A and B are shown apart, each in its own frame.
Chain A
Amino acid sequence: MRGVVERKLRSALTIGGVAAGILALTLSGAMAEHFGAQFDGGVRYYRAAIQVADDAGSPAAVVSMTKIDQIQRVPGVAIALPSIQLLARPGSTSAVPLGLPDTIAYADPRETRYSGLPTKVAQGRQLQANRQGEVVLGADLAQELGAKVGDTLDLPVKPRGANPDFVNHPFKVVGVLRRTNTLPDATASVGLLDAQMLLQESLPASFRDRVDPSSLASGITVYGKPGVDLDALADKITATVPGIAAIRPTDYVRGFDQSGRFSAATIAIEALALLFGALVIGAAMQLAVVERAVEIGVKMALGARAWHVAAEYVVEATGIALIGGVLGIAIGLGLAQLLDLAGRSIGMDIFLVTFRVLRIALALTVLVGLAAGTAAALRVFRADPDAALRMV
Chain B
Amino acid sequence: MAAIELSELGVTFRPGQPGAVRALRAVTLSIQAGEFVSVVGRSGSGKTTLLHCLGLLLRPTAGKLVIDGVDTASQTDGQRAELRGRRIGFVLQDRNLLPGLTALENVLLPLRYGWPRRGARTRARELLAQVGMADHADDRPGQLTPGQAQRVAIARALIKSPSLVLADEPTGEVDDETADDLLQLMQQVNRTSDVSFVVATHDPEVGSCMDRMVRLTEGTVAADDRLRTERIRLSSIR
- Interchain CA distance A392-B170 in the complex, whole Å: 12
Distance (whole angstroms) from the CB of B219 to the closest CB of chain A: 15
A162 interface hit (Cβ, 8 Å): no
- Interchain CA distance A303-B86 in the complex, whole Å: 8
A124 interface hit (Cβ, 8 Å): no
**With contacts A302-B85, A305-B81 known, is A3 near B113, CB below 8 A?**
no
**Nearest A residue to B48, CB-CB:** A390
A385 interface hit (Cβ, 8 Å): yes
- Interchain CA distance A306-B77 in the complex, whole Å: 9
- Interchain CA distance A392-B172 in the complex, whole Å: 11
Q: Is B92 touching A304 in the complex (CB atoms < 8 A)?
A: no
Q: Is A303 touching B115 in the complex (CB atoms < 8 A)?
A: yes
Per the 8 Å Cβ criterion, residues 89-117 of B in contact with A are 90, 92-96, 98-101, 109-110, 112-115
Question: Which residues from chain A contact B109 at a C-beta distance below 8 Å?
Answer: 299, 302
- Interchain CA distance A35-B174 in the complex, whole Å: 69
**Binary flags per residue of B47-86, CB closer than 8 Å to A gives 1, else 0:** 0110010010110000000000000000001100110111
B156 interface hit (Cβ, 8 Å): yes
Interface centre among A301, A304, A306 (most CB of B within 10 A): A301
Q: Is B156 touching A302 in the complex (CB atoms < 8 A)?
A: yes
Question: Which residues from chain A contact B58 at a C-beta distance below 8 Å?
Answer: 386
- Interchain CA distance A385-B53 in the complex, whole Å: 11
A288 interface hit (Cβ, 8 Å): no
Q: Is A301 touching B92 in the complex (CB atoms < 8 A)?
A: yes
**Nearest A residue to B83, CB-CB:** A303
Give how many A residues have a beta carbon under 8 Å from the other chain's beta carbons. Answer: 22
Distance (whole angstroms) from the CB of B158 to the closest CB of chain A: 12
Q: Is A2 touching B85 in the complex (CB atoms < 8 A)?
A: no
A386 touches which one: B57, B113, B114, B115 (CB < 8 A)? B57
Distance (whole angstroms) from the CB of A292 to the closest CB of chain B: 9
**Nearest B residue to A298, CB-CB:** B96
- Interchain CA distance A135-B114 in the complex, whole Å: 72
B160 interface hit (Cβ, 8 Å): yes
Distance (whole angstroms) from the CB of B143 to the closest CB of chain A: 15
A303 touches which one: B81, B101, B168 (CB < 8 A)? B81
Give the 7 A-B residue pairs with the shortest CB-CB distance, closest first. A303-B85, A6-B100, A302-B110, A386-B58, A304-B113, A301-B90, A305-B81
Residues of B within 8 A of A (CB): 48-49, 52, 55, 57-58, 77-78, 81-82, 84-86, 90, 92-96, 98-101, 109-110, 112-115, 156, 160, 168
Known contacts A303-B86, A305-B78; can you find 15 more A-B pairs with CB under 8 A?
A294-B96, A298-B98, A299-B109, A300-B81, A302-B113, A303-B85, A304-B85, A304-B113, A306-B77, A308-B112, A308-B114, A386-B57, A386-B58, A389-B57, A392-B96
